[in-house]
Amino acid sequence: MKRIFLLLAGLVAAGSACAQLRLPSLTLPSGLVGLDSLRRPAQQLVESAGLPDLRALRQDQVGQLLRRHPGVLEADPHGEPALRGEILAFNPTPAALDAARAAGLRVAREERLEELDQTLVVLRVPDGAATAQMLERLRALDPDGQYDFNHIYTGSGAAWAPAPAPAQEERTAQAPGAPRVGLVDSGVDRAHRALRGSGIQAWGCAGTAHPSAHGTAVAALMVGRDGRFRGAAPGAQLYAADIYCGDDPAGGSAERIAAALGWLAREQVGVINLSLVGPPNKALEGVVAAMVKRGHLLVAAVGNDGPAAPPLYPASYPGVVGVTAVGRNGEPLPEAARGPQVLFAAPGNNMVSAAPGDPPYRPVRGTSFAAPIVAGLLAPRLAHPDRARAREAIDALARQTSGVDGGTISNSLGYGIVGAELRTDPAWLR
């Protein structure tokens, strides 16, 4: 089967947005106005020095995170960010936990994912011990176990901080029978004009709303509708999990992603978008596998580290629908990942999406903004998790693609391009 916003605005030379980045200190560009009430020519609003190549930006931002927050974050042996002094154990046995305690670790938190029949345990490394060394020791003590760092996954300008308070849910009304789709991202501006017709069920942050640029843009590309702007499944009911909750550097941990997926499993949401990226992680891999086995379709951006970069996750896990981005003429973004993880391509450049504040629409670029289009197109085909129907939904969407010869799968476009008509070109705002 295989071939899961941050608006990059604040780059002074570019004035445009991109995906899979964490830039909490940067401000959003001004200029674009509502699609149905123009005040100035669009050319004055969107012209700039050009959209940036995103290849080096994720690693640059990872480096900044590690330098800014050394007390909260540390680098794993490959330079990827993780919560300092924490190890994730996926479905550990009682004997394995006893061995971990004997080695000096303590259980800090435990997350039971009831619908998936899985358990995630956070182990705290003893003071003075190196996390990487303790992880290797655990793996030696329990070779059949699944242990890893509590990695941080980037993809928004917001962040989530671990807290003892349980996540709260907030619900808004929606018409019966509307399609449903899930989102694991940063906070969504539920009052945005493009999202007013969508019922939104929110999870995370102990019930406190933290609207963000990335989450709002991704949500609108799935379910939004406003004048000439239209998402892939306008008016659908959105189940939005905020795993960042503001600007805390601990946001986006593998632990929080797993908890969000557990909530979406409980809510029986068939299609779930994850426009975030990071390294392979044993615990997250186990949760993703359980979701796929249950019949969920996890749709994920493949990332913008470049065609020769190592694969990013969760898009590269088996069974996940990896999505790349193309420009106005169907050309792959030069910074988009390539490989067998790419299953579909969708618009991800020369386009706008929703943003909190004024102006309400701003330019976006990156695979983060292609993935929600694919998720929205799949959502009406999979109302609830079902393995057979999930396969049928993929096959049906594959028959609607363009840009790739029928019956072949491309490392750059997968089955081909979908949703080209959903790209809202800034030039249309004239």
DSSP labels, 240-295: EEESS-SB-TTTTBHHHHHHHHHHHHHTT-SEEEE--BB---HHHHHHHHHHHHHT
Active site residue 148: no
| Residue (of 362, 300, 23) closest to 159 by Cα position | 23
Residue 81: both structure tokens together:
């960010």
SS3 94: helix
Active site residue 37: no
Contact (Cβ atoms closer than 8 angstroms) between residue 304 and residue 336: yes
* Whether residue 318 has a cis bond before it, omega within 30° of 0: no
Contact (Cβ atoms closer than 8 angstroms) between residue 368 and residue 19: yes
Of the residues 192, 210, 214, 296, only one is catalytic, namely: 214
Token pair 């701003």: residue: 362
CA distance 335 to 343: 17
CA distance 16 to 392: 37
| Residue (of 384, 374, 368) closest to 414 by Cα position | 374
Of the residues 212, 368, 410, 412, only one is catalytic, namely: 368
Active site residue 214: yes
∠ CA 78-80-81, rounded to 5°: 145
Contact (Cβ atoms closer than 8 angstroms) between residue 203 and residue 165: no
Token pair 């292609």: residue: 370
Query: Element (H or E) spanning 16, and its range?
Result: none
CA distance 307 to 50: 21
Of the residues 185, 189, 242, 248, only one is catalytic, namely: 185
CA distance 32 to 38: 9
Query: Which residues participate in catalysis according to the annotation?
Result: 185, 214, 368
